Amino acid sequence: MKFLASPGFLAFAVFVSPLAADEAKLAIPGKLLYENKLSAAPGTEWKAAKGKWEMVDGSWRGSELPEDKHGAVIRLSQKLTDFVIEAEFCFSGAKSTTLSINAEKDHMARIAITPNLVTIRRDDNDHAGPDKAVTFAVFPAKFEPGTWHKVRLEMVGDTLLGQVDDLVAWGSDPLFTKAKMAPGFTAAGQSIQWRNFTIRAATLNPEWETVKATLPKPGEKVPKPAASAAKKKK
């Protein structure tokens, strides 16, 4: 399935950091499954569950609405197997944003981004039950308002790879072998812009084991909890 939107351009100068992942890492991108410049209002294939999503300056702008008491959410109604998703984002006041993917029931995984941090994780898949989120990496970052940056989410088999500009992490989990649903964006606060969204089918990079050895191990880049301030020296 392929959807096309007319191209749109911002009227001011912006900077986009190159993705080092233009070189294959986990996945070899294949057939184009979906493409949308996000330069026109969201079509019927998208569901805006929360917040306000509008077309501004040739991109989508997502803003949280106070009355929702929940971050803004918009998702594409599409089921996926192994894939590579790419998009670009630009902070314009939001506290955070995510590129995420769901399981058939509940959440699966996400790349969470604030102006100062990138977090790549497997999500809690049951909320009320024993399942817990697993963080693969947390990177310090600096995303200035008005600057565009690239994000990439790859999933092949039981493994995920997330990348924002040149920050890369991966992790594996049996949950990732399940059907993947409804990729989309969230926004906390006001506001975030997204553009140039694509999904491609993916196959495993035959050099993945070699590439993996050059990347942080899952959990290696996760800050350790600070020692309790209440603990006193004897």
Q: Could you tell me if residue 233 is inside a domain?
A: no
What is the per-residue pLDDT for 231? 52
The answer to the question of residue 198 being in a domain is yes
Residue 87 inside a domain? The answer is yes
Q: In Å, what is the CA distance from 233 to each residue of 158, 228, 229, 230?
A: 45, 12, 11, 10
Q: Does residue 130 belong to any structural domain of this protein?
A: yes
Its sign, for the CA torsion 174, 200, 98, 187, is negative
**Full domain range(s) for residue 154:** 26-212
Q: In CATH, what number is assigned to the domain containing residue 66? A: 2.60.120.560
pLDDT at res. 1: 35
Q: Which helix (H) or strand (E) holds 210?
A: helix 208-212
pLDDT (tens digit per residue) in 118-156: 999 999 998 777 889 999 999 999 999 999 999 999 999
Q: Which residue from 217, 202, 220 is spatially nearest to 24, judged by alpha carbons?
A: 202
167 lies in some domain:
yes
Answer yes or no: is 118 within a domain: yes
In sequence order, the β-bridge partners of residue 75 are 47, 184
Does 230 fall in a domain? no
The count of domains in the chain is: 1
Is the sign of the CA dihedral 91, 92, 94, 95 positive or negative? positive
In a 3-state reduction of DSSP, which class is residue 59?
A: strand
Rounded Cα gap, residues 234 and 230, in angstroms: 12
- Whole-number pLDDT of residue 3: 39
Stretch 53-63: mean pLDDT: 96
Structure tokens at 33: 């499954």
Q: Give the span between the Cα atoms of 113 and 150, in whole angstroms.
A: 11
Q: pLDDT for 198-221, tens place per residue?
A: 999 999 999 999 999 999 999 999
Quick count: other Cβ atoms within 10 Å of Cβ 93? 13
Mean pLDDT computed over 158-171? 98
Rounded Cα–Cα distance for residues 51 and 115 (Å): 20
Per-residue confidence (pLDDT) for residue 16, from 0 to 100: 40
Give the number of residues written for the chain. Answer: 234
Tokens of 20: 């080092």
Residue 38 lies in a domain: yes
